[in-house]
Structure 1
């Protein structure tokens, strides 16, 4: 089990590989929550309180309790096993911040796309941006309490995904589910052995 605590501020001497991962998605889909749920260090957040200036700009439909938004990035770290560590960079979801993606994407192995089935259409432009940048990705479907349930193939069709693109159901608040989503991405985009990653992360 990957643990969280003050001792985890420093990487073990056995770590041989560090991998950069982007966590992207539309506004309010749970990116900050996911990074925070898995990070073994105190996550860096650049959240600001939403003001009246965002009215008519940021669509808060279905997000009545949301009061803050990421304006630069979220940053966290998770050591998957004794030799592999992931550095997570969460991006802002609003279109006006998309220019930040180019810098954050530099050197990234892959991207975890977080989607909300209540507002699935908001993810179409996000996926298009990834395709334009040629970044490999997996999809984490964040299951909110009032989300409708859909099958993986239904979502794959709705999002027009390739058959090999991983689609993982996930509650971004739950660490184990979020870790599984990250492992699915790493397995998809790297040469890391499937059994080795899963055995040492469980």
Structure 2
């Protein structure tokens, strides 16, 4: 997602999966996966002379949570990118941002080989509060990713107390 929208060449840490990841990366539902993010991705979008969004894409596995804690400091918001082939893995991400009071949106990442859930099905399955936006996204498609980010920024602004925006 970061690579799809960044105005600069994104810093990526995507590596080929090897036998070293056996027992660490759960490939159930994504058996054909050939690469994995080993740290984080970084990109940038300039909105105006005064507003620049720095984008950090971090994997959802619990071994990356210390990194998440650092990234959450000062974060305006987050996009929880949900893989419909592994829907249950999104619970921890949703919980992370809810507990910290960080505005977030859920982006349902669509895959050709995955079930195409409706947003309300995802909301019900993950017990997402009604005020949290859910968008359909393909993390490889720039316009769909931009829509997710615009939705996030609007949601974060809406949650800002009057007079502080």
Q: Flag whether TM exceeds 0.5 (same fold).
A: yes
Give yes or no for the alignment of 1:39 onto 2:23: no
2:134 alignment counterpart: 167
Give yes or no for the alignment of 1:56 onto 2:44: no
1:150 alignment counterpart: 117
CA distance in 2, matches of 1:64, 1:174: 23
| Equivalent residue in structure 2 for 1:89, among 56, 61, 71 | 56
Check conservation: 2:108, 2:119, Cα contact below 8 A. no
User: How far apart are 1:66 and its partner, in Å?
Assistant: 2.4
Check conservation: 1:71, 1:97, Cα contact below 8 A. no
CA distance in 1, matches of 2:154, 2:19: 43
| Equivalent residue in structure 2 for 1:113, among 63, 80, 101 | 80
Provide the secondary structure at the position in 2 that maps to 1:43: coil
| Root mean square deviation, CA, Å | 1.8
Residues 10-61 of structure 1 deviation map (CA, whole Å, 9 limit, x = unaligned)? xxxxxxxxxxxxxxxxxxxxxxxx1101111000112333221221221112
Higher relative contact order (CA 8 A, sep 6+): 1
Provide the secondary structure at the position in 1 that maps to 2:26: coil
Give the unaligned 5+ runs of structure 1: 1-33, 192-202
1:189 alignment counterpart: 156
Check conservation: 2:6, 2:45, Cα contact below 8 A. yes
2:35 alignment counterpart: 68
Residues 94-152 of structure 1 deviation map (CA, whole Å, 9 limit, x = unaligned)? 21121111111111100100001121111112212222322211000000012222222
Residues 41-90 of structure 1 deviation map (CA, whole Å, 9 limit, x = unaligned)? 00011233322122122111232342322222110111245653211011
Give the unaligned 5+ runs of structure 2: 159-165
Name the TM-score, length of structure 2 as normaliser: 0.87
* Structure in which a larger fraction of residues adopt strand: 1
Give yes or no for the alignment of 1:124 onto 2:91: yes
Runs of 4+ in 1 over 4 A off after TM superposition: none
Provide the secondary structure at the position in 2 that maps to 1:59: coil
Check conservation: 1:44, 1:75, Cα contact below 8 A. yes
> What number of residue pairs does the alignment pair up?
159
